[in-house]
């Protein structure tokens, strides 16, 4: 039986690892703050003392951390991934990072004889709990094929996009579109309320038309109630906007609408809303 490692017990990682445990897999977990591992240990997972310990013990290790800096820390830091990776001890990074970070990880792990797959996900807290995430994978095709059963446990769909870096690009573009679309909804809803229109009726009419989508249905009630429990923290969305902007600069592709939306998220971050759900951007719009 394959032993899976999992690094990062945040909102997403803990739910993903829990699904692997429930499916009867041997799972060893690690988190920067050890108490984050407690619920998984209660379920039957074991706890590693460091990323190196997890990677060197597991056959395949998943990582789900916040940003490129966090990935760098768990890989290059003391007792990090690079000290434990090697033939038969591979890494799958599910974090949302830039393509350059993924390319470097792939190259450095290959030097150690380990395979690398980037597999960022679309979906937030509830899909992670339900095991209905979508995995965007790129890197070593053989590793993708080997871990397909685990991806099937944690998600409803997984696709292979080619060389390392391509999945990161796709994920950033998807999140930039998502964040920009939500910002437009917030502006429209704010205008409707200022126009003495019923916000709930606006959402109902949008849902009946060409722009009907699950995000509007999922976030609309939160906007009306002005309650924003964190499913996808705003600080992470703004990070994704930043990385998308850097990608557009490198490739010479203007993204003016996305850039304007990013300014709204930057303002929300500056006002202290970073740990709230990204739908809290409504507070700076209204």
Looking at the structure, tell me whether residues 219 and 255 fall in a common domain.
Answer: yes
Looking at the structure, tell me whether residues 201 and 152 fall in a common domain.
Answer: no
Looking at the structure, tell me whether residues 134 and 260 fall in a common domain.
Answer: no
Task: Band the pLDDT of 163: cuts 50, 70, 90.
Answer: very high
Give the residue from 135, 163, 191 where a domain finishes.
163
Residue 88, both tokens: 């038969």
Looking at the structure, tell me whether residues 55 and 157 fall in a common domain.
Answer: yes
Residue-wise pLDDT tens digits, 76-135: 999 999 999 999 999 999 999 999 999 999 999 999 999 999 999 999 999 999 999 999
Which CATH number does the domain housing residue 214 bear? 1.10.1040.10
Q: Is 194 a catalytic residue?
A: no
* Owning domain of residue 230: 169-285
Looking at the structure, tell me whether residues 212 and 135 fall in a common domain.
Answer: no
Looking at the structure, tell me whether residues 140 and 269 fall in a common domain.
Answer: no
Which CATH number does the domain housing residue 129 bear? 3.40.50.720
Calculate mean pLDDT across residues 229-258: 97
Looking at the structure, tell me whether residues 174 and 159 fall in a common domain.
Answer: no
* 9 has a pLDDT exceeding 90: yes
Domain count along the chain:
2
222 vs 225: CA distance, rounded Å: 5
Is residue 50 helix, strand or coil?
A: coil
Looking at the structure, tell me whether residues 43 and 180 fall in a common domain.
Answer: no
DSSP string, 144-204: HHHTHHHHHHHEEEEEE-SSTTHHHHHHHHHHHHHHHHHHHHHHHHHHHHHTT--HHHHHH
Q: What is the pLDDT of residue 73?
A: 97
Give the residue from 117, 147, 163 where a domain finishes.
163
Query: From the candidates 125, 171, 239, 266, which is the catalytic residue?
Result: 171
Task: Band the pLDDT of 28: cuts 50, 70, 90.
Answer: very high
The percentage of the chain sitting over the pLDDT mark of 90, rounded to a whole number, equals 100
Q: What is the pLDDT of residue 50?
A: 98
Residue-wise pLDDT tens digits, 204-237: 999 999 999 999 999 999 999 999 999 999 999 9
Locate tokens 């998308």: which residue?
Answer: 244
* 161 has a pLDDT exceeding 90: yes
The percentage of the chain sitting over the pLDDT mark of 70, rounded to a whole number, equals 100
Looking at the structure, tell me whether residues 8 and 87 fall in a common domain.
Answer: yes
Candidates 49, 219, 25; CA nearest to 131 is 25
Looking at the structure, tell me whether residues 131 and 209 fall in a common domain.
Answer: no
């Amino acid at each position: 039986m394959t032993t899976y490692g999992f690094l990062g017990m945040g909102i997403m990682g803990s739910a993903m690892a829990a699904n692997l445990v429930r499916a009867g897999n041997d799972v060893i977990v690690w988190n920067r703050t050890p108490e984050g591992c407690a619920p998984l240990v209660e379920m039957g997972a074991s706890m590693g003392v460091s990323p190196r310990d997890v990677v060197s013990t597991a056959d395949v290790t998943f990582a789900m951390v916040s940003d490129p800096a966090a990935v760098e820390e768990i890989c290059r830091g003391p007792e990090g991934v690079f000290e434990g990776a090697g033939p038969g001890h591979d890494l799958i990074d599910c974090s949302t990072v830039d393509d350059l970070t993924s390319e470097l990880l792939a190259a450095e792990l290959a030097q150690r004889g380990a395979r690398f797959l980037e597999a960022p996900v679309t979906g937030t807290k509830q899909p992670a709990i339900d095991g209905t995430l979508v995995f965007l994978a790129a890197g070593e095709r053989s590793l993708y094929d080997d871990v397909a059963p685990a991806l099937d446990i944690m998600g409803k769909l997984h696709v292979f996009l080619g060389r390392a870096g391509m999945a990161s690009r796709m994920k950033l573009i998807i999140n930039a579109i998502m964040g920009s679309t939500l910002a437009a909804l917030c502006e429209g809803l704010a205008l409707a309320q200022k126009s003495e229109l019923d916000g709930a009726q606006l959402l109902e009419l949008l849902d009946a038309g060409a722009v009907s989508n699950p995000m509007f249905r999922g976030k609309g009630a939160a906007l009306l109630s002005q309650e924003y429990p964190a499913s996808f923290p705003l600080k992470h969305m703004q990070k994704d906007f930043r990385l998308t902007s850097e990608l557009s600069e490198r490739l010479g592709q203007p993204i003016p609408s996305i850039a304007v939306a990013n300014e709204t998220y930057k303002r929300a971050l500056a006002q202290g809303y970073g740990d709230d759900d990204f739908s809290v951007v409504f507070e700076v719009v209204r």
